[in-house]
Structure 1
Amino acid sequence: MKHLYAQWLALSLALFAVLPAQAELTAADKQNIAQQIERWNNHLNGKQDANTLYAAQVNWFGQNLARDEVLRKQQDFNRRAPQFSQRIITTLDITDDETGSVQVDFVKQVGITTQQTKNYPAQLTFSHQPEGWLISGETDLLTRLNLKDAEVQGRLTKGKFDGVNKDVVWVSARDPQNGGTCNEEGDCQCSLWSSNPAVQPAILPQCIGGIVETLSQLDDSGRDRVVIFPQWWTSAWQVVYVYDIQQGQWAKALPSFPINTNVQEGDNAATLVQRDPQHSGFVLVKKALWDEKQEDIVTPQESEALQVVK
């Protein structure tokens, strides 16, 4: 689990890095950025022009382009896909960094046609210019994954979680009280998302983000399983979740179980959950437990049934 722990640590440090700077964004700044995102959404839906929307240079889905080139590419796409539409379906997670840039994460639902609609984990970057807050970056996590961006490795995974359709899944964190960015003073929970808009997110408590991995062929159902390693502010103890999609909704394939990253550095999803060769429909689960007699952490491997929604 060493590589997973390194990813957890990197993501946690990134979160801590932005927290102190978050206070520098005023309520007016956040309101202006939110208004710009509304304008951006209207622009892509063909309802508003792009005046004072983009900065002179934009990192657009991995390409550094001039503003006019971005607009030209958007116009070309609209001609090829006249039925395109999108809408924002979550609250905005707005964070700033030491450079003064602001990153906004949210989930958008995009339709090329009325029959082809997908959820995407979108990202916009804003920089403050004389004209106000302008978009200097536009992308989504799936594009970054496909471009082999090291920062998003482990944040998304793909699989046939319902046994039929190949989808992309990820987790996003929000403060459940206000829908905004999480901090140590408040609560935080994650939503487990699927790119399939018919599948509603599952809620994971006490979670500020996490790593997701796909496991295949745990049984003969044809369903892949997503293993989620949620993060929290501190502690080597973690709770692991295993989900699949049954009857059109996320379902726990196994009860959640504890691990300890101090004693399980070499473990990952494939070593924690394995098909039980002796029992059909069962898996071997390696979990961390405190042994009172030994006064130490032990990691037994126990056979458990994969859960089926009835």
Structure 2
Amino acid sequence: MKSFVSLLLCLSLLNAKARQAKDPATLVQEWNVANNKQDIGTLTFLYDSEVLFYGSKLKKQDCIAGKLSIFKKYPILDQQIAGQIKSETQENGDVKCSFDKAVTINGATKTYASYLVFHQVNNAWKIVVESDLTTDANVEKRKMKAKGAVLCDVDGDGVKEYAYLTPAPIDTTQEMTCLDESCTSVIRFSNKAIPELRISNCLNAVVDILGDLNNDGKDEIGINPQWWTSCWSGYHVYTLKKGKWIDAIPAISTHCNQWEDGVKPVQKDPKRPGYVIIHYSMMIDDDIVTKTKSIPIK
């Protein structure tokens, strides 16, 4: 009996050493075969103790439970690696293997741009990320919606990106005090190549996507900064020029009355290209009125 157990241990060690010698691209093929054969043992060996599994950080056993659930739901499932496996070594030494995965279920085939990320643990490559670009896009979409993000095209490349505002940090121990002196809110974008837009003296705001006001093929952004006191505020219109945010027009003086009446502060002037019509608030004879004029836009 002891000799039999020893034999199993030796075989296990030999198997482990053989896998250690394999490069990540070869292990992708093993992962693919294991999925087709529903080989839980091999998948258990390939996964690290924690895996970013289609957008969720899971323990190894939870990844295996997820695989078992899929195998139970689709007992006849076929997936194939279509084309080449592209390997890329990341800055931290991990290796990302990207490939197209053709999955056939009930006779219908769908192809997913997929990837696995391998991390070296005790001289063995382990899967630390498993996902595909479709899942990543859906996860990102859910995250952006949770932040109240809005779609826009501020860089004019024809691809919509999300914009969302992070409010100024408030000091909860002191009344009407920010954690930074400038009380800065920040608009960030899902496309990290677009610079963030920092707005001082702004506790919070709703991001307005104004469309292409200046006919340069890019959306402009409008912000009505919130503050602790006063119904008066300056409405700002920003445009992205040569990679930098600038004021497209001078700030528009607005009052709560204007907003309560549903009067938007700015719109494109249909009769004058390069101009916008602004609606602004003024105090006249102890009365707050809304005025209108056409002004040039940058």
Normalised to the residue count of structure 1, the TM-score between the two structures is: 0.48
Normalised to the residue count of structure 2, the TM-score between the two structures is: 0.50
Q: Select the structure of larger CA radius of gyration.
A: 2
